Structure 1
Amino acid sequence: MGLPEEGENGKIVAAGEEEESSAASPPQIPEKSLFRYNSPLVQVVLIGLVCFCCPGMFSALSGLGGGGQVDPTAANNALTALYTTFAVFGILGGGIYNILGPHLTLFAGCSTYVLYAGSFLYYNHHQHQAFVIAAGALLGIGAGLLWAAQGAIMTSYPPHHRKGIYISMFWSIYCTGGVIGGLIPFVLNFHRTEAVSVNDGTYIGFMVFMALGMIISLAILHPSCVIRGDGSTCTNIKYSNVSTEAVEILKLFLNWKMLLMVPASWASNFFYSYQFNNVNGVLFNLRTRGLNNVFYWGAQIIGSVVVGYLMDFSFKSRRTRGLLGIGIVALLGTAIWGGGLANQLDYSRHHEPEVKLDFQDSGFAGPFVLYFCYGLLDAMFQSMVYWVIGALADDSEILSRYAGFYKGVQSAGAAVSWQVDARNAPFLSQLIANWTLTTISYPLLAVLVILAVKDDNEDEGEGKVKAVMKAVH
């Protein structure tokens, strides 16, 4: 890494530089099978399995409210530390991924998830926050690396006209981790109807899955080795370098495309603290929270598939498909947050329900359906944003930076939201803030699609012009 490499024609090129001759040569036509190891499909499935095991289990743990503890303070402080470091390393993660490649980046990221789950196992016995908070800060670093790599893989490996379906496929696999992760505390704590914190076996179960994710991460191929069905590769660059990545990351803060995405990025994890702690954690007992998370993440599978279909198949024009997807998510989001407002008016931080709901209680259905719809909206919102990111480019090197910027801003918003909840902000104020942020995002994303997303015929036209200019020169 960082040393000169020999091109196919014997020419020596510096690492991090694109070899012009390889770009000019005819593309390598791969085997027709979708299931060959170096196909985008197999690689996206593999990154989905990694996220099934690591972020999927983390999501289930967070979804318990307070990390499965009676007092959410330790979890809130750990998550604040997590998303603070995540904000920094999310933005840097795309550059780090371009320099180190997927193996080191993903393996290092996955290892921090195991440590975080283990810190709650420790907290179950010793009630010391310091280790949990430190593990949260380290997980923020690891999550920044993992999600930047994931974003690059998910948005750049697929063919550009099928990115919605690949995103929904990834999201479905990832959210299945949340479903299984929700079953773990539900089953292990089923007979503990009066329990206020989960047992040791719950955290050990999470750790086993996360360790498996570390191993699977080693199977991910570098983007230069992945070949699409038309013979094109995801990038012609094997490794980048520190100076190049530093300059390109700084440019993102002046990139008008990224600036239009800031509200959506900030909003996309901001609502987790409200939904997990103040809806699931406040309204339901421990075993029912686990059951709710099974359906919360199950709803995400449905939401991602719907958005994937709309964004890839609803209209011939890619720009029209993008606008339709944004419009439908906006309408559904308005309805769901409206339902959340009606539910929130029944209780407050200072007047919480005296008895927490069990799934066998008669009043369970209404709040449960709302929580299910929150999961549906989360997947639709984030799949929509990822589709827009993927529509801005096809090259892995560029999209890794875009995805890193998205996750960095997203994590900064999450850090603020967990601390807002830790400081006992009114539930109603948190709901209004979430609703406002998501609402502001929709018209800005629509403007981005209109100005920056090109239809297939425009891409083909530009490609022909470039080919003619290259031939002339």
Structure 2
Amino acid sequence: MADEKHASSPTAEVPELRTYDTTGVIERPPGWMYKGIKIGKKEIWYASPIVQLLVVAMVCFLCPGMFNALGGLGGGGQVDASAQNDANTALYSTFAVVGFFSGTIANMLGIRATMTFGGLGYCIYAASFLSYNHNQNHGFVVFAGAFLGVCAGLLWTAQGTIMMSYPPEEKKGRYISYFWIIFNFGAVIGSLVPLGQNINATENKNVTDGTYIGFIVLMLLGAVLALALCNAGRIRRADGSKVILMKNPSWKTEFIGLFETITSSPWVILLFPMFFASNIFYTYQQNDMNGAQFNTRTRALNNLLYWLAQILGAIIFGYALDMPKVRRSLRAKGSFIALFSLLFIIWGGGYAWQKQQPTREETEVKGFVGYDWTDGGKLYIGPMFLYIFYGFFDAAWQTCIYWYMGALSNSGRKAANLAGFYKGIQSAGAAVFWRLDGLKTSFDTMFAASWGLLAGALVIAAPVIFMRIKDTVSLEEDLKFSDETVEDVAPAKDVTVVDKENTV
């Protein structure tokens, strides 16, 4: 870097060798100047993509991870799922609206403030169910759901920006995998709480106050942890390059950029059905399968196995999407074929199971007791593995969507908008299906609608996956969506990058 100046005395000898390790451990003089910004060794290490990804993963471990554990119990831990259905309808309705504009908000407020505010809604949501255990305050639960929709829209957009724009192109699949593993460990740990507290409960009943209190404490810790994040402008990759943003953002430029994301690449709209379908199946799986057909302790066990399977799915697909000896365009096509095959194998098995199960009316009869894990054989072992494969498929679907978006651009500004579109449209789909469940739509219809929309979404997205994902995206192409220049964001020229897998 021709403009680099050593931060110590003018007469001090400046070491010539500067080694960057792609794990984030960087060797250099104790203080140095990079493009006019004084940066210390500790700051550069902490502001590396991998460290920031781990921090945001822990935030999501504690906030949405625990939310998933709570939701996975069916009915938010309540035998009667009506309060959760109404709360989640409100949640995903506000999420859909806020999510569409949350990329603009995140670009203006910064990652740290966006994530911190986003985490607060989760503890209030869990607290509303604790209250409901005592006073059946339906209105508070619905309000908490609506408020969480606002918060979650901001949190997930900031998370998507980090996951898609911080890592180098060749490591995006692995970074997505790292995040998904840690995030889902939150749901795994959260699932152990109700399992331990209800292990002897063979009847159907609401979960205990202690379960809800545990969720509230952990979610609050997640919101506080978000304060430890750096904003995107401070991030430096191992080669010295920066995340592409805007030098002088304003609300006007960010709202213009929101619509330019679509008008500059209108074919992105073909991914929207995949966005819409990406959460709709939770309603059927959590409420209409797990919540309706199993007793309390078995629901808790199924919930644990579901999120463990998510971790396995993230590992397999995350690393497969980064296979270095296969061109990225070929990896995209292979992932499509894998998703399509898994969809019909797993959901085909789901159809064989669903058509033999009691109807919604039969499960709501007073005194109905669902399957227990001691039933074994066809009554439990088969559906247990089916539920595990549902979790595996969910991780595969979500990992691929994030990877597809990350493959279309390396710009932090564009990634924020794409993440906002994704979470907003995803939430619109979820709102529709939670409402359908609240209207007592039959289990068979909920299953068929979920399967059909997933299949249709893949077919519509195929042209983007097969024709628009390139082996690389040039820096010049990404800069078309920014007022920054190559000099502002390019890798340093006098840097030696040491990668433990591939030396550059």
Would you say same fold, with TM above 0.5?
yes
Tell me how far apart the structure 2 counterparts of residues 341 and 207 of structure 1 sit (CA, whole Å): 37
Contact 1:252 1:405 in 2 (8 A): no
- CA, structure 1 residues 156+467, in 2 after alignment: closer, same or farther (shift >3 Å)? closer
Residues 273 and 461, structure 2, Cα contact 8 Å, conserved in 1: no
Does 2:190 correspond to 1:190?
no
1:203 maps to what in 2? 212
Q: Which of 223, 226, 235 is the matching residue for 1:214?
A: 223
The residue aligned with 1:20 is none
Structure number with larger C-alpha Rg: 2
Out of 137, 144, 149, the residue aligned to residue 153 of structure 2 is 144
Equivalent AA in structure 2 for residue 132 of structure 1: V
SS at match of 1:292: helix
Distance 1:394 1:33 in 2: 19
Deviations 1:75-118 (A, max 9, x none): 00000000000001111111110000012111111011010000
Q: Matches of 1:133 and 1:33 in 2, distance apart?
A: 44
Q: Return the match for 2:370 from 356, 375, 393.
A: 356
The 2-side partners of 1:454 and 1:252 are apart by: 18
Q: Which residue of 2 aligns with 1:169?
A: 178
Partner SS, residue 230 of structure 2:
coil
Determine the C-alpha separation between the residues in 2 that align with 1:154 and 1:29.
25
Structure 1: distance between partners of 2:48 and 2:298: 41
- Tell me, in whole angstroms, the C-alpha distance in 1 between the residues paired with 2:243 and 2:486: 19
Q: Is the 8 A contact 1:310 1:324 kept in 2?
A: no
Deviation at 1:257, TM superposition (A): 3.3
Report the Cα distance in structure 2 between the residues aligned to 1:351 and 1:96, rounded to whole angstroms.
47
Which amino acid is 1:193 matched to?
A: T
The one-letter code of the counterpart of 1:280 is: N
Q: CA deviation at 1:459?
A: 3.6
Q: 1:156 aligns with which of 139, 162, 165?
A: 165
Q: Is the 8 A contact 1:99 1:239 kept in 2?
A: no
**Taking structure 1 as reference, are residues 113 and 239 closer, same or farther at Cα in structure 2, changes over 3 Å only?**
farther
Counterpart in the other structure of 1:432: 448
Q: Shift in Å at residue 31 of structure 1?
A: 5.8
Identify the match of residue 126 of structure 2 among 105, 117, 121.
Answer: 117
Aligned to 1:107: 116
Please give the per-residue CA displacement for 1:339-372, whole angstroms capped at 9, x wherever unaligned: 1111110122233494311222222111111111
Which AA in structure 2 matches 1:34? G
> Is 1:311–2:343 an aligned residue pair?
no
Post-superposition offset of 1:444? 3.1
Task: Give the Cα separation in 1 of the matches to 2:22 and 2:48.
Answer: 10
Structure 2 letter corresponding to 1:248: G
TM-score by length of 1: 0.89
1:256 aligns to what?
Answer: 266
Whether the 8 Å CA contact 1:29–1:230 is kept in 2: the answer is no
224-233 or 170-179: bigger deviation:
224-233
1:43-122 mapped onto 2 (5 Å cutoff): 43-122=52-131
Separation in 2, partners of 1:377, 1:40 = 27
Q: Secondary structure at the match of 2:163?
A: helix
The aligned counterpart of 1:34 is: 24
1:288 paired with 2:298, answer yes
Q: Which amino acid counterpart does residue 206 of structure 1 have in structure 2?
A: F
Deviation at 1:249, TM superposition (A): 2.1
- Which amino acid is 1:120 matched to? F
**Within 2, Cα distance between the matches of 1:316 and 1:245?**
36
> 1:219, CA displacement in angstroms?
1.1
Task: Report the residue type matching 2:360 in the other structure.
Answer: R
Cα distance per residue 1:382-419 (max 9 Å; x no partner): 10000000001111111000011000000000000000
CA contact (8 A) 1:301 1:379 kept: yes
Give the superposition deviation at 1:253: 5.2
Give the gaps of 5 or more residues in structure 2: 5-17, 26-44, 479-484, 488-504
| C-alpha contact 1:307 1:384 (8 A) present in aligned 2 | yes
Q: Distance in 2 between matches of 1:357 and 1:145?
A: 39
Report the Cα distance in structure 1 between the residues aligned to 2:214 and 2:418, rounded to whole angstroms: 34
Q: How does 1:281-430 map to 2 (within 5 A)?
A: 281-313=291-323, 315-347=325-357, 348-352=359-363, 354-362=368-376, 363-430=379-446
The CA deviation at 1:310 is: 1.7
Q: Structure 1 CA distance, aligned partners of 2:438 and 2:223?
A: 31
Superposed CA deviations along residues 50-96 of structure 1, whole A, max 9, x for unmatched, are: 00000000011111111111110000000000000000111111111
Matched residue SS, 2:301: helix
Q: CA deviation at 1:193?
A: 2.7
Using the size of structure 2 for normalisation, the TM-score is: 0.83
Root mean square deviation of aligned Cα: 2.2
Q: Name whichever of 50-59 and 230-239 sits farther off.
A: 230-239
The alpha carbon displacement at 1:315 in A equals: 4.5
Quote how far apart the aligned CAs of 1:449 are.
2.5
State the shift of 1:187 in Å: 0.7
Kindly tell me: are residues 225 and 29 of structure 1, through their superposed partners in 2, closer, same or farther at Cα, counting changes over 3 Å?
A: farther
SS of equivalent to 1:312: coil
